[in-house]
Amino acid sequence: MSDVLLSIEGLTKAYPGVLANDAVSFDIRKGEIHALLGENGAGKSTLVKMIYGLVRPDAGRMTLDGRPYAPASPHEARAAGVAMVFQHFSLFEALSVAENVALGMENPPPMRALAHRIREVSETYGLPLDPARVVGDLSAGERQRVEIIRCLLQEPRLLIMDEPTSVLTPQEVEILFATLRRLAGEGTSILYISHKLEEIRALCDRATILRLGRVVGRADPQALSARELAEMMVGQELMTPSRPPAPRGEVVLDVAALSLASPSPFGTSLKSVTMQVHAGEILGIGGVAGNGQDELLAALSGEMLAPADAIRLCGIEVGQLGPTARRRLGLLAAPEERLGHAAAPDMTLTENALMTGAVRQRLLNRGFVRWGAAREFACRIIERFDVRTPGPEHAARSLSGGNLQKFVIGREILQRPLALVVNQPTWGVDAAAAAAIRQALMDLAAEGAAVVVISQDLDELMEISDRFAALNEGRLSAPRPTAELTVDEIGLMMGGAHDMEVAHVAG
Ligand SMILES: Nc1ncnc2c1ncn2[C@@H]1O[C@H](COP(=O)(O)OP(=O)(O)OP(=O)(O)O)[C@@H](O)[C@H]1O
């Protein structure tokens, strides 16, 4: 019997102006953890969507366990033993874990029996989860467990995971990896997509590397360094972000005892958040998702109003000003959710450039849009941030996730803010593009802007921020110089350990 589970031969898929997959061929063996690597827009999502029956190939074929495999829908893919955990969770917040799992099953058993099975699977695979809890109360890591357990209940032969660790703490990543290793040991194959190359090296047996829709390499990830893998992906040498040491200037952004109730029932209220960000400085804010990051961004951008004197920009009270007025003064923000929040999916890139650039780029004239100038601004973002798209008249939705992220961050940086607040600036962005975004944020600070980077990527925060603070249940710890901290201490601050415990560990 062959040891190959899924064989992919010559899969091809074209979109207008782009060959997303060009005769892609590779095998996934039984019981292996196979990494799919590639820079943004390389075609990874398109490929897994074809495997999961969401997109139909233009050409090529697949076999599963030696038999022809051409799923016309995810339903057919699941019936054949293929399961997928998506980047974005599709759970109902008001329902319990068990009810959510039942909704995703073809033939759910009675609730009691299902709750029992969820407990069983969660214990067997070391993924603690209470079936009775309401999903709205769960952390991002726990929500992911719901998705994984939902997949495991189908006893899949192939489990596809798209960027599974971007919402997890280091400790949760360890738990997930132990689960995946155990599944592979039992014979389940795993196709694993991630931009985190150190994780790929720690977890995966083999890697297939895509560039511009084609397979450009196959590698043993454990035999190569993360840098070598990244260079195979981009086909060139990588740069390391750096900046000359600069003295820090006056306080630009001053937040004093900011308390705000979250507008969402499952949100986190901000509790007396205090921070001062100086000209020329990057303040990194770490924390597990759902600890007030979205609320902090909304409070600083002006989407949520605050007491006037709780937020000051260069001494001016801005707490009561909305986003446009704050932008005019030079306080800019880029939220985490790129499709729908930072960018309007069905609008063109030019229209999206206009959306936040109108005031500072002077794209309006007596109420009329200066379309030529808006297009020129969009083109500048595309060029300066290497956004892969056929042109600015294409819809935001047609860009790969990482390319849209480069567009959204580039749009704010090019507006020369006095203070910029970004949430997860390199989420889902490949190694080369992440380095470019980090360099751009550092250049912006070097030019004298005050920059706040909210991120769950600790390595990123260690690399670029001057000072670090952790957000936990809506409270911000006192910022400390990053150079003084170890990754372990930061991990503890993020997990809500109090100063005492951090001091204890440090000692
Ligand atoms: N529905 C679509 N319509 C038009 N173009 C698309 C569509 N989906 C993907 N593309 C294009 O196909 C190419 C491959 O995109 P894909 O999403 O597969 O890349 P990816 O490797 O998953 O990228 P990322 O790491 O950024 O998520 C990109 O150029 C993208 O713009």
Task: Write a three-state SS string for 422-436.
Answer: EECCCCCCCHHHHHH
User: What is the distance in A from the centroid of ligand 1 to the CA of 42?
Assistant: 7
Distance CA 127, CA 280 (A): 43
User: What is the distance in A from the centroid of ligand 1 to the CA of 20?
Assistant: 6
Distance CA 78, CA 428 (A): 26
**Tell me, what's the pLDDT at 499?**
41
In the structure, how many helices (H) and strands (E) does the chain have?
17, 23
Distance CA 475, CA 498 (A): 11
Confidence band of 503 (pLDDT split at 50, 70, 90): very low
The answer, yes or no, to whether residue 504 has pLDDT greater than 60, is no
Q: Identify which has the larger pLDDT, 68 or 483.
A: 68
The hierarchical CATH code for the domain 251-506 is: 3.40.50.300
Instruction: Classify each residue of 327-355 as buried b or exposed e, where b means 16 or more C-beta atoms within 10 Å of its C-beta.
Output: bebbbbbbbbebeebbbeeeebbbbbbbb
Tokens of 350: 């030019």
- Put simply, whether the predicted model's pTM sits higher than 0.90 gets the answer no
Sequence-distant (6+) residues with CB within 8 A of 109 are 117
DSSP-derived secondary structure letter, 370: -
- Ligand 1 atom closest to the CA of 21, numbered from 1: 14
Distance CA 352, CA 403 (A): 14
Atom 28 of ligand 1, residue of closest alpha carbon: 41
CB–CB of 332/415 below 8 Å?
yes
From the CB of 193, is ligand 1 less than 6 Å away?
no
Three-state SS for 364? strand
How big is the chain, counted in residues? 507
Atom 29 of ligand 1, residue of closest alpha carbon: 41
Domain 4-234 in CATH 3.40.30.10:
no
Q: Which residue has the tokens 């720690």?
A: 202
The answer, yes or no, to whether residue 506 has pLDDT greater than 50, is no
Helices (H), 30-128: 44-51, 74-79, 97-103, 111-124
Counting Cα atoms < 13 Å in the Cβ hemisphere of 170 gives 14
**Tell me, what's the pLDDT at 108?**
83
Distance CA 449, CA 243 (A): 14
CB–CB of 375/433 below 8 Å?
no
**Tell me, what's the pLDDT at 491?**
66
Q: Tell me: the pLDDT tens digits for 341-371? A: 888 889 999 999 998 888 888 998 888 999 9
Tokens of 301: 């951008």
Atom 5 of ligand 1, residue of closest alpha carbon: 398
Residues of the chain with CATH 3.40.50.300: 4-234, 251-506
Average pLDDT over residues 106-123: 89
**Tell me, what's the pLDDT at 495?**
63
